[in-house]
Amino acid sequence: MIIFIKLINEQSFEHYHMKKYLFFLLLFICFCSTIYCQIITGTVLEKNTESPIQHALVYFNGTSAGTYTDQKGFFELDISKNSSMPLTISALGYYSITLNDFPTNNPLLVYLPLKVFELNEVNISVKADKNLRKQNLKLFKEIFLGKTDNASNCEIINENDIIIFHQNDTLKAYSLKPILVNNKALGYKISYYLDKFEFIEKNQTFSFTGNIIFDEDLPINNRRKEVIAIRRVNSYLGSRMHFFRALWENNLNSTGFSVSTPTNVKLNYNDIVIQKYNPLNMDTIKYLKYAGGFGISYFSHFPDSFIEFNNDSIYFDRNGYFDGLGITWEGKMGEQRVSDMLPYEFLNNKTATNTEKAKSK
């Protein structure tokens, strides 16, 4: 009898601790889920009427991470993998909005301004003859897609949605719809929300701004996949994304990069990078800064790319993202256009070790 009672007590004791263990295990899992799965919510409205915009795209520019709003303009998005990047909202017929700082614990309310073209601009594009449009479209694609081998394997699916016209000596282009690009060279389908495109013929300078989201589009054929994988690596090596990732890790030299002044004086990491600590997410924030700009070499004795600063300092992060509006590029990196772009998810830690292996093929 005594032994029997003792056994019951031991079993009860073990049962109690098992329940306690399971409780804390469940609590730990919930805690980890909260950290690694950070969901934001919000509503997208038209700026003038405050009516909800359905099927607006909420995404991180330059990635494949995004979601669409529902009929009420509502969205929710997991930002845990891109929390250091600005959030972009785009919709058909509206100018895109980019949020650099946004609350993660409260719902967002976003207003998109309607794209409105002046009547004379539209009339000019309508009256343009077919030969002139063909010529203008060719020039647009050379600037927008580039002139590399990748560009020759790119196709703009909806060319008719692009409005192109001359205003004085400037070629301009607009599109109410996102420009859809099939990049067969790198295996991506791209949606580019163009906000501005200008080419000044007098001095042969251009600028275009917009936001891009990627969609994987790999072929079924394995041999073709291998070719695309090699092309992706070749596009990455020596690119702007590659440079900023190497700069973040402070290993420019080991990756083949070097930075120098216009008088060819070598610059070190501490000469061009400012570090700050962000107590909110317990992470480091980094900025690129150097008065007057500098040159970048990639496995070369002399700079083949050049940076000029439009802002005092340029934010960048570990995945290669940087504030594109704050920099003007010249040289080799300046020649990289939409056809050479890769999503920021490209080349994670698992595939980084295979970079040189793929390059050698």
DSSP class of residue 50?
-
Residue type, 206: F
- Answer yes or no: pTM beyond 0.95: no
Q: Assess contact for 78 and 86: CB atoms under 8 A.
A: no
Q: Is 98 exposed, middle or buried (0-12, 13-18, 19+ CB in 10 A)?
A: middle
Strands lying side by side in the sheet with 305-309: 266-267, 257-260, 294-298, 305-309, 327-331
pLDDT value of position 181: 97
pLDDT value of position 348: 52
The CATH architecture of the domain made up of 39-112 is Sandwich (2.60)
Q: Assess contact for 186 and 206: CB atoms under 8 A.
A: no
Beta-carbon neighbour count of residue 63 at 10 Å? Answer: 20
pLDDT value of position 265: 93
pLDDT value of position 105: 80
pLDDT value of position 15: 52
Strand, coil or helix: what is 200? strand
pLDDT value of position 283: 75
Distance from C-alpha of 69 to C-alpha of 112, rounded to nearest angstrom = 13
Strand, coil or helix: what is 216? strand
pLDDT value of position 354: 46
Strand, coil or helix: what is 97? strand
Alpha helices in the chain (DSSP H): 2-36, 119-127, 130-144, 149-152, 222-236, 240-248, 269-272, 349-352, 355-360
pLDDT value of position 281: 58
Torsion of CA 32, 89, 44, 99, to 10 degrees: 70
Distances (CA, A) of 180 to 154, 191, 219, 234: 10, 5, 18, 23
pLDDT value of position 117: 63
Instruction: Give average pLDDT by consecutive 10-residue segment, the chain, 361 residues.
Output: 36 50 49 60 92 93 92 91 86 89 84 74 57 91 93 95 89 92 96 93 89 92 92 95 96 94 92 84 84 93 92 92 90 93 78 44 42
Distance from C-alpha of 117 to C-alpha of 95, rounded to nearest angstrom = 12
